[in-house]
Structure formats: structure tokens, C-alpha cells
Amino acid sequence: MQDQKNKTKKHSPLMDWLIRVLKGFLIGFGGIVPGLSGGVLSVILGVYDKMMAFLGNITYRFKENFIFFLPIGIGGVLGILFFAGVIEAAFGTYAALFTALFIGFVAGTLPSIFRKAGEQGRDNVDWLIAIVSAVFLFVLMLLGEQSFTAVTPSIPVWFLSGFIIALGFIIPGLSPSNFLIYFGLYDKMASGIKNFDFAMLVPFIIGAILCIFLFAKLANYLFEKFYSRMYHFIFGLVIGSTLAIFPTVIFPAFSTKNLIAMKLSFGMALLLSLLMFVVGIIISYLFSKLEDRYDTDG
């Protein structure tokens, strides 16, 4: 009787294929929206371990793995294309408000990353790693405000951008979009993806692919050997980059020119930014609870 029930639960090959397309779509969504992580979503959707095993040893059972991940890849591309259009529209007149929302997404993941970092215990060295990485990155981003917050797009820049974004698929919990927002490249990336700008896409994709093949096996090794150290390092990076976005990106956006364009007073713009930040935290926190539930049920 139990076997009969199990049979009825099996999906047809077409349905199974479409489900994997949907999973890829959601992973692509997580890969491009700040505060979310393609890696986290692939964990939640049950494909992360198999994906990392495949990427870590690409020649092993290549045909079988390629067929399995093809619909996930198609869905991922569709998800990135769809949400790139949404993000491009958001980074217009009200860029400061939407940046605050996206940074709220990032901040909302901190409790989840902190819990994950401590799953195998934490000691004074872990705390030191988190504090030093947070302070170092915060200071570095402040010092580089004039030089790096308005990076001019170029082939090497897009190559490095693709490399950075791909880290979010390899390292669950890491949202590299923070850095592209800081560099002033995030909206340009979304626009390039949406408009199929091959001058941007080709180096971006090459950088992403190179990152995945270079770091998939290394990431597996580091998280296996130094789990707590690695996650406390990531925790510190997320805190430092999130805090640095406010003085380097959001506050300068409240210039007189931008306030006139938004038709808002400084007080109202600041209040709305804080509100968007809180909304982002709440949405992201609820999302992280889904990840926790998955880990518990898993």
C-alpha cells in the first residue's frame, strides 16, 4: 500500500523537468537580488550538494549531471533576466529608497548567518575573525569612497563583477550584490542583462564561470575543514559591507538635486528610506526562517 502511495507521488518526466526549471528560476532570483543568495536558495531547494559535487568534479558522470542541471540552468537564466528588468526600473529616480530596501534584505539575513556560523560551536578566534573582517571592510570601503563608488564600466570591471556575483552561488549566505551597489555598478549590471548588452555580458559570464570552476572545489574543502572560521569571516564581511553602504551610497543620494527629482523633503526621504530598510529586514528575515525550517526538517 505504501509503495502504491509512493508511486502516485512520483512526477512525470515533463513535470520533473518543469519543477527543476522553477527551482532554477528561484535560484536566479536569489542570485541577483541583494540580500538573497543563490547558494542559500539552492540549499533550500535541495540541489546545492549535488551542484557542488558536480562543479567540484565536472568530468564525473558528466552526461547525467548535465541533463539534470540543464533545466535548472535554463530557469536560472530566466530568473536573472526577469528580475534584472525589475531592478533596472527600481534604480531610477528613487534609487536611494530602493538601495535602502535592498540593504534591508542584506541586514535581515544576519541572524540566519550568525546561527549558521555557530552550528559547530564558536570560540574567541571566531569572534575575532568576525570583528576584524567587519572593521577592515568597513574602513576599506570608507577610505575608497571617492575612488571606488563610481567605477567606470569596462571589460575587466565586468569580468570581476561576474566573478564576485558567482561567489553568491558557491557560498550560501553571501550576497555579493552589496559590493556592486557600493561600486555603483549594480544598476548598470541589471540594465546590461536586461538589454542583452554583450559588451557587458561576455566578460561578466566568463568571470562567473571562471569563479565557479576555480572555487567550487576549494569552497567545499574550506567549509569542510574550517566551517566555523569561514562562516564567521562571511558574517563579518556582510556586517562591514552593509554598514558602509549608508555613508558611501545612501546618504550622498540625499543631495538637493535628487530630493527635487523625488519631490521629497530631506526628512521625508530619510523617513521613507528607514521604512524601506525595515521592510527589507522583515522580508529577508522571513525568508531566512524558511531556510532554518529546511535545515531542521532536512
Lowest mean pLDDT: which of 91-95, 139-143, 201-205? 91-95
Q: Residue 76's closest CA among 187, 182, 208?
A: 208
pLDDT of residue 70: 93
pLDDT of residue 156: 93
Residue 222: how many other CB atoms lie within 10 Å: 15
pLDDT of residue 173: 60
Torsion of the alpha carbons at 139, 143, 145 and 149, rounded to the nearest 10: -80
Burial of 269 (0-12, 13-18, 19+ CB in 10 A): buried
Per-residue pLDDT reduced to its tens digit, 269-280: 889 989 998 998
Per-residue pLDDT reduced to its tens digit, 87-99: 777 666 777 788 7
Residue 216: how many other CB atoms lie within 10 Å: 21
pLDDT of residue 297: 41
